[in-house]
Amino acid sequence: MTDPHEPQQPAEAIPSAEPAAGWSPRLVVILTAVLLLSLVIPLELTLVYPAVRYMVPVFHTSSLSWVLTIVSLTGVVCESPVGKLGDLYGKKKTILVVSTLFAVGSLLCALATSFPLLLAGRVLQGISLAMIAVMYGLLRDILPAPLVPFGFGLISVGLGVSAIIGPFVGGALIDAYGFRSVFWFSFIAVTVLAAAFAFIVPESPVRLPQRLDLLGCLLLGGGTGLVLLGITEGQGWGWTAAATLACLTGGAAAVAVFVPHALRSDHPLVDVRVVAGPQMRLPVLATLLCAFSVCGFAFLVPQMLETPRSLGVHYGFGLDAIGAARYMLPYGITAILAGLLGGALVRALGSRATLVAATVPLTAALLLLGLAHGHTWEILAWTAVYGIAFALYPLATMSQVAEAVPPDRTAVSEGINGIARDLGTALALAVLTAVLNANLAAKQPADAIVYTDHGYTLAFLAAAGTGLLAVLAATLLRHRALSTTPAGGTTGPLLAATRPAAEH
């Protein structure tokens, strides 16, 4: 009789012809295909941001913010179930199914004649946010162990590339062809790149022979989704409004019920004991804190740059969206460089030291932006420092999670990390919006909201303070070597080098 907790290998196995720690043309092609497909998701998000305001005359609704909100909600609900499906049925197969849903969603958005149809397309696109966690798990399974950190770093490179080209590509498409063109671009890109991915990238040989815990999916996904909705909409609804309190308390109650359910289940969605243990608890906390600070940068800097100084404030340059994007070039460049070098840093110093190397510049950049943001050179310099953190923090936290769990539980565990990231982002938006709204400038123009210089300083310092907590969490982390052995003890046939997990 088969032990339901013992991972099994599928009949189809791809023999490893790669050197234990070396490169080959095949590996380069595989990594290129992974990089390009993983790039589509963050790129699409940056493409849609500038398109939202052009949708107003088409859909005639005051609820266009839901074009962005519903993607985040869908992502946080689907993080763990999609990750679990990858562990159960194959990570490559799961990525291709999610890519197909993303393509269908892009097509719906491009052709949408009503707001509900547009939102339906955005829901299908939002499922793709869970794909990145599965991508990390696939790289762990198919790459030789010494090259896994470099593979993780490539996904950070994709984030940097999307940060550079997203605003420019989106602006050019919208100016030339209208807002629907960004969805056509996403549809074509994901269709072509997913086809290449299907042809080039091998499937993971690792399987977790359990069944999907549907009740657990409902409790954890629905609960975290309700909490995220309450945090996201609390500012507009009112923090003491019945809808806000119902979302927050109902979501928290669902997550609380999920814990004993998972502990009793023979096939839990998430191993609660592992998540609550020190090997995952601190990386997940560090992810939440870093996400708060990273969102602080993304939320505050563009607003500050686009504010005209003629309105009587001591900051801002009156830039349009494309002009503000040019100021982001330094961070995109340093993010790409840090992503390329991050894998070597993890191999040489470990994921703990890499996370320290991310959180220190993250905190420093936000602190400096809060104290000195009146000159162009200051913005360019501090954003360049921030780019290092932007690339290294997901690489380090994902590496920490991968080191904490066996390969057959990687994708769902990385999904938990994704939930922490989404909640950190939502908390940042809520807290920093409240800080700014408490510091409105005395004179307000008719077509914009202007905040005081003191308000921006306080908001940046709040984000920097969270970054400092992330530094502390990083220093408390425990370094573990990456295990290539599933929980049941069977080594995946694609892995050429096996090292047992060892604490340092």
* 366 touches 467 (CB < 8 A): yes
User: Do the domain assignments include residue 493?
Assistant: no
Which alpha helices (H) appear in 201-266, and where do they start and end?
A: 214-237, 242-264
DSSP character string of 217-232: HHHHHHHHHHHHHHHH
- Collapsing DSSP to helix, strand or coil, 426 comes out as helix
Q: Which domain holds residue 166?
A: 22-211
pLDDT tens digits along 150-168: 888 888 888 778 877 887 8
Kindly state whether residues 382 and 307 are assigned to the same domain.
yes
User: Do the domain assignments include residue 14?
Assistant: no
Q: Which of 213-217, 276-280, 313-317, 489-493 has the lowest mean pLDDT?
A: 489-493
Kindly state whether residues 191 and 217 are assigned to the same domain.
no
Kindly state whether residues 288 and 187 are assigned to the same domain.
no
Kindly state whether residues 112 and 250 are assigned to the same domain.
no
Kindly state whether residues 70 and 187 are assigned to the same domain.
yes
pLDDT of amino acid 66: 86
pLDDT of amino acid 22: 62
Kindly state whether residues 160 and 201 are assigned to the same domain.
yes
CATH number for position 73: 1.20.1250.20
How many separate domains does the chain show? 3
User: Do the domain assignments include residue 491?
Assistant: no
Write down the mean pLDDT value for the chain: 84
pLDDT of amino acid 20: 44
pLDDT tens digits along 63-114: 777 888 888 889 889 988 998 899 899 999 999 999 999 999 999 999 999 9
Q: Given 268, 286, 305, which residue is the final one in a domain?
A: 268
- Collapsing DSSP to helix, strand or coil, 8 comes out as strand
Q: How confident is the model at residue 360 (pLDDT cuts 50, 70, 90)?
A: very high
User: Do the domain assignments include residue 7?
Assistant: no
Backbone angles phi, psi at 8, to 5 degrees: -120, 155
- ∠ CA 424-427-430, rounded to 5°: 150
Residue 74: enclosing H or E segment and its boundaries?
A: helix 66-89
Q: How confident is the model at residue 480 (pLDDT cuts 50, 70, 90)?
A: low
Q: Given 268, 286, 306, which residue is the final one in a domain?
A: 268
Whether residue 504 has pLDDT greater than 70: no
The stretch 130-142 carries a mean pLDDT of: 89
pLDDT of amino acid 2: 42
Kindly state whether residues 186 and 225 are assigned to the same domain.
no
Distance, first Cα to last Cα, the chain: 37
Kindly state whether residues 369 and 420 are assigned to the same domain.
yes
Kindly state whether residues 258 and 363 are assigned to the same domain.
no
CB-based burial label for 376 (10 Å; 0-12, 13-18, 19+): exposed
Q: Which of 18-32, 120-134, 348-362 has the lowest mean pLDDT?
A: 18-32
Half-sphere exposure at residue 410, Cβ-oriented, CA atoms within 13 angstroms: 33
pLDDT of amino acid 447: 62
pLDDT tens digits along 257-289: 999 998 888 888 888 887 777 778 888 899 999
Kindly state whether residues 149 and 280 are assigned to the same domain.
no
Kindly state whether residues 95 and 143 are assigned to the same domain.
yes
Q: Name the nearest CA neighbour of 496 among 93, 90, 134, 27.
A: 27
Kindly state whether residues 241 and 161 are assigned to the same domain.
no
Q: How confident is the model at residue 493 (pLDDT cuts 50, 70, 90)?
A: very low
The stretch 30-46 carries a mean pLDDT of: 87
Give the helix, strand, coil percentages of the chain, each rounded to 5: 75, 0, 25
Whether residue 16 has pLDDT greater than 80: no
Q: How confident is the model at residue 498 (pLDDT cuts 50, 70, 90)?
A: very low
Q: Name the nearest CA neighbour of 269 among 421, 81, 3.
A: 81
The CA distances from residue 452 to 302, 312, 376, in Å, are: 15, 9, 19
User: Do the domain assignments include residue 308?
Assistant: yes
List the structure tokens of 260. 């004993």
Q: Which of 157-161, 175-179, 337-341, 353-357 has the lowest mean pLDDT?
A: 157-161
More confident residue, 233 or 53: 233
pLDDT tens digits along 166-189: 878 887 888 888 889 999 999 999
The stretch 464-471 carries a mean pLDDT of: 96
Whether residue 249 has pLDDT greater than 90: yes
Distance CA 23, CA 151 (A): 12
User: Do the domain assignments include residue 425?
Assistant: yes
pLDDT of amino acid 5: 43
Whether residue 3 has pLDDT greater than 70: no
Distance CA 8, CA 137 (A): 16
Distance CA 501, CA 504 (A): 10
pLDDT tens digits along 391-411: 899 889 888 888 877 777 777
User: Do the domain assignments include residue 173?
Assistant: yes
User: Do the domain assignments include residue 4?
Assistant: no
- ∠ CA 259-249-283, rounded to 5°: 50
List the structure tokens of 174. 């919208």
Q: Name the nearest CA neighbour of 41 among 136, 147, 116, 115.
A: 136
More confident residue, 342 or 5: 342
Q: Given 187, 211, 235, which residue is the final one in a domain?
A: 211
Whether residue 11 has pLDDT greater than 60: no
Q: How confident is the model at residue 1 (pLDDT cuts 50, 70, 90)?
A: very low
Distance CA 116, CA 122 (A): 10
* 186 touches 106 (CB < 8 A): yes
pLDDT tens digits along 418-458: 888 888 888 888 898 889 888 888 777 766 678 888 999 99
